Structure 1
Amino acid sequence: MKYTFTALALAALSIATPIPDPSPALAPSSFKIAGIISGGSGCPQGSIDIDYTDSRILPIYFSKDFTAAVGPSVAVDQSRKNCQINIQLQYTPGYQYAVYSADYVGYGDLDSGVRGVVRANYYFSGYTNQVSSSLVIAGPFTGRYTKHDDIALSIWSPCGSESMLNVNSEVSLTPTGSAASGTLVATKESAKFSHTVYIKWRQC
């Protein structure tokens, strides 16, 4: 099932709880994505897909717009791209879910001295804490990269309501204004940047 989505999400924050082991047996019997909102410098309208396969994996696919760049002739505002995604899930009452892991897959071309960062923050609307995962790539580097990132703390959705999960993704390069050049998360041939979010469930 594929969703293409638009617009700008307003976010709040969420509760952080130490991470237990994910248990497939606790997944709810009913699960679907009821709505998605997104926006930011790295995800103009209609540029992102979520193509999920089950109740525990949310693969997010970005277009070439989610590409940071630096170099002598590159504008400073191109050194960082951001995408705010708001995901509304509907599922069997009596459950709550949390993000426990993430995968990053993309492409980079960085000169020596250029540093790239891929980062994501996760939180639920109406709550106060957040958790994050990140990947640092140091130049010189050219090619495809992959990273599996286990998140040290979980954020649990509230019991008794279907609070929206917010994913704030960012790619950035430093330094700006130097002779060194770099691009990060650029579409290369048929490749796209993808950010897969893994979620776990428990009963309230």
Structure 2
Amino acid sequence: MYLTSALLFLLQSGLSTAAPRISSALRIRDTFTPPTVVSASFSGSGCPQGTTDVSTVSVWDHFSFDLPSFKAKTGPSSDITDRTVNCQAHLNFGGSATGWQFALKDHWSTGHFETDGAGVTLTQYLTVYFSQDAANTATTVQTIPSTDNSNVSKDLSLHTSIPEAALIWSPCVGGGILNVNFRIAFSGATSNVTAYYGASSNSSVKEQWEWTWRRC
């Protein structure tokens, strides 16, 4: 198995409006059987217990979920603890098909972003690891600096693709618990500029994942 250790990838900020694609590996159902998802749970300030639910039936073709409690904000009246928020998903997998490994390859996130001044930076962190090998971790970082435009109010869609060399592969035999931590943080001129990332009036923050497979 190809391992990485405490690997940090700094990715340039970018917006993506493209819809998630089904990985070509997922089209070869006649050659493998995906592992069973025994359970899915969530933890973190952005998804307190009981606020997020997902059907494990659709994990392999279209795994997406809403985070209605996920919101970060900064400004003169906000507390420092409001400036960062996270949600960690824990997926407990049964044994994979003999001779195959899977990994999380692509991550999409969508939320509503507002600022009323320049100098604030929004940063998204995505960390992936299996519980039985927590030291083998991949982390991606995307930054969205505010511009000279003093008033921004828009839905922000981000696409992160984990580099091939940093993919965190499942065990070749047996199951495992995959942990995916999605975190948003504000930094910069947080004392005099108001900024917000979270749900809008008609939608929640959303995550969507896409997988890749390989022989082992």
Give the structure 1 partner of residue 121 of structure 2.
115
Structure 1: which 5+ runs fail to align? 1-13
Aligned mate of 1:103, from 97, 100, 108? 108
Aligned mate of 1:47, from 46, 51, 54? 51
* Residues 82 and 147 (structure 1), Cα distance of their counterparts in 2 relative to 1, 3 Å cut: closer
Whole-Å separation in 2 of the counterparts to 1:31 and 1:101: 19
- Indicate if the aligned counterparts of 1:86 and 1:166 stay in contact, CA closer than 8 A: yes
Q: What do the CA deviations read for 1:117-176 (whole angstroms, capped 9, x no partner)?
A: 122100111212211233322225321011222111211011111111101111111236
Q: Summarize the alignment of residues 120-199 of structure 1 with structure 2, pairs less than 5 Å apart.
A: 120-127=126-133, 128-139=135-146, 140=149, 141-152=152-163, 153-175=166-188, 178-184=191-197, 186-199=198-211
- Residue type of the partner of 2:51? S
Superposed displacement of residue 22, structure 1: 5.3
SS of aligned partner of 1:161:
coil
SS of aligned partner of 1:183:
strand
- Residue type of the partner of 1:72? P
- Residue type of the partner of 2:204? K
SS of aligned partner of 1:74:
coil
Give the structure 1 partner of residue 17 of structure 2.
none
- Indicate if the aligned counterparts of 1:66 and 1:81 stay in contact, CA closer than 8 A: yes
- Residue type of the partner of 1:169? F
Report sequence identity in percent. 23
- Residue type of the partner of 2:207? H
- Give the alignment's TM-score, normalised by structure 2: 0.76
- Indicate if the aligned counterparts of 1:70 and 1:176 stay in contact, CA closer than 8 A: no
- Give the alignment's TM-score, normalised by structure 1: 0.80
Q: Summarize the alignment of residues 51-62 of structure 1 with structure 2, pairs less than 5 Å apart.
A: 51=55, 53=58, 55-62=60-67
Coordinate RMSD, CA, aligned: 2.5
Q: What do the CA deviations read for 1:2-30 (whole angstroms, capped 9, x no partner)?
A: xxxxxxxxxxxx9339xxx9523267335
Whole-Å separation in 2 of the counterparts to 1:57 and 1:164: 19
Superposed displacement of residue 198, structure 1: 1.0
Give the structure 1 partner of residue 42 of structure 2.
38
Whole-Å separation in 1 of the counterparts to 2:24 and 2:132: 24
Larger fraction in helix? 2
